[in-house]
Amino acid sequence: MEDVILVSAQLVLPGHPLHLQRKYLHLRSGVLLAISDTPLSVDNALYVESPNLKVSWGWFDLRAYFPDPGFEQKETLMSGRRAAAAGGFTEVALLPNTQPVVDDKDTLRYLQSDNPHELVQLHPIAAVTKKAEGKEFSEMIDLHRHGALAFSDGLHPIQDSDLVLKTLLYLQPFNGLLIQRPEDTHITRFGIMNEGTTAVLLGLKGMPALAEHLMIQRDLALLEYAGGRIHFSCISSAQSVELIRQAKARGLAVTADVAAPYLLFDETALHNFDTVFKLNPPLRTAEDRAALWQGLRDGTLDAIVSDHQPHEIEAKQLELDLAAFGMSSIETVFAMSTMESKLPTELVIEKLSVTPRKIVGISLPPFEVNQAANLTIFDDSMEWTFEKSRSLSPAHPLLGQRLKGKVLGVVNNQKMEWFL
């Protein structure tokens, strides 16, 4: 269907003159042809109507893992794109932990190669160190010139203080961004879940939040000393939120995100030893979860990410101590972020569309007549059942459950896909 009419859709475009206004939109082959105050009539068009129909800039996921090449049994670029689109994402930043690792321009080009032809655009994050081993620097300037979005060792937090210090210095000439998931892995070694009462009751080895706090304190001290920019990904504890809040108050160039599953679940999800909830960082306490919500409300946490880490059934259907860390989550980020109504929808959308682009220096897409559109269409009050995942991974915590907040379609790169 080339022509689509969005009927009386509320525009959720923070900072745009039309923000929160209701309009009738005419799209043809992904191009925005009309923005109208009155109903539109177009022959043979698909009319999209919903009680709380809303439109925003296409959502941007700052942290996802599509482990292709190398681990295609977990997720391919094609299946990852399908899952991302169903989750409302038109752009996705990919972790570098493929095989080979994204530490040279050939692997970078592989991840970028289909972007001209695809709705969902992939932005590779390049590794700071070769093979993401934390030993020898990759060619970061060359990778930047060939389109690396930012730099991180991804699933492997950088443990060496000197490497972090030199990376902050090395990236400054081109205003490059270091992304770090804060964890002192010496402290969390052999851990399975959050250290605390629940871990003791279940007889499981804990992963203390201290490991996260120490790494944030160290990296903030290095940032204050060396300058540059750092982004902390997957913040999980109340004290981490407070450390970042204080650093921002001191004027440090630090940003941070929280992954959507940590907004909906806490450590008690592991009571039944369900390996789907074995995550790193681990799900923490109800008090930590409340602090994450507050961090989003007051701007300490800048973005919501999926932290999509898909695994094949053989990696998850094991004893808890043997199962892999991570879950499939990219398709239900919006529902996870809105089901409990802790934040107004417009603030959630800002954390999914505006601030992620701001963090990595990408301009917001145009929202103008006769311009190619980059949009996510959704209904924040619609209830639906998550019946089938488009990801290759079965490790999703919400499969078969009734959810609130549904993505209805995505538009980008002169392509459209609908989930009506």
C-alpha closest to that of 377 among 57, 45, 80: 57
Q: Which amino acid belongs to residue 178?
A: L
- Rounded distance, CA 150 to CA 169, Å? 14
Please report, for residues 10, 254, 295, 357, the alpha-carbon distance to residue 251 in angstroms, rounded to integers and kept in the order given.
36, 8, 17, 20
Residue 344: cis peptide before it, omega within 30 degrees of 0:
no
Distance CA 206, CA 285 (A): 13
**Residue 266 annotated to the active site:** no
Sign of CA dihedral 383, 384, 390, 391: positive
DSSP 335-360: HHHHTT--S-HHHHHIIIIIHHHHHH
Q: Residues 61, 257, 302, 307: which is the catalytic one?
A: 307
E strands of 162-286, at which residues? 178-180, 193-194, 206-207, 230-232, 254-259
Those residues with Cβ within 8 angstroms of residue 322's Cβ, 6 or more apart along the chain or in another chain: none
Active-site residues, by number, are 307
